[in-house]
Structure 1
């Protein structure tokens, strides 16, 4: 279904960019996402908490074979609900901008 739904949670600029970066990949490392967005850990964590609470992003920590210390990598991914909501939001923005083809 090609639902069109403006989503206030996703629409905040940083959260929109987070979803846009996560959409084409299976998962992304917290540090890679932070660096791509050029924001602080605290800012990214705050926005991720909102997206996780909404059920749009999942987060899991895993050991990384290339590390010699006990730190773990935080992997982030859009959930199925997040993908649906993001796609519907993008369609809503296209509709607002008058660039839809349907």
Structure 2
């Protein structure tokens, strides 16, 4: 019978929504930048429009980001920011990763 993971090494608590590479990059960038336009996130994450849209939608559906679509002049603009629950989830994710890596300072 399999033993449950040690409390200090319970990988099952990792937030799967955040843990995907592109979503992780988006969350990390937004946590520091505050907000970002779609084109900036696309450049930072090094993905195409469709790929970024899928990941933004998943984060938005989880309630982790807020997406605002507007026009600046006649040009459409999509602005993304972490929601309050998203910031809380991000902080919890970082804390969980630190715990897995062996404490505050990591490995």
TM-score of the superposed pair, with normalisation by structure 1: 0.84
In structure 1, which of residues 39, 49, 55 is the aligned counterpart of residue 63 of structure 2?
Answer: 55
How far apart, CA to CA, are the structure 2 residues paired with 1:81 and 1:17?
17
Aligned to 1:10: 18
**Structure with the largest fraction of helix:** 2
Greater CA radius of gyration, 1 or 2? 2
Where do 4+ consecutive residues of structure 1 move more than 3 Å?
none
1:38 pairs with 2:46: yes
Superposition CA RMSD, Å: 1.4
Aligned to 1:79: 83
Q: Does the 8 A contact of 1:6 with 1:88 survive in 2?
A: no
The one of the two structures with greater contact order (alpha-carbon pairs below 8 A, sep at least 6) is 1
Question: 1:71, CA displacement in angstroms?
Answer: 2.5
What is the count of residue pairs matched by the alignment? Answer: 93
**Which ranges in structure 1 are unaligned for 5 or more consecutive residues?**
none
TM-score of the superposed pair, with normalisation by structure 2: 0.81
**Which ranges in structure 2 are unaligned for 5 or more consecutive residues?**
1-12
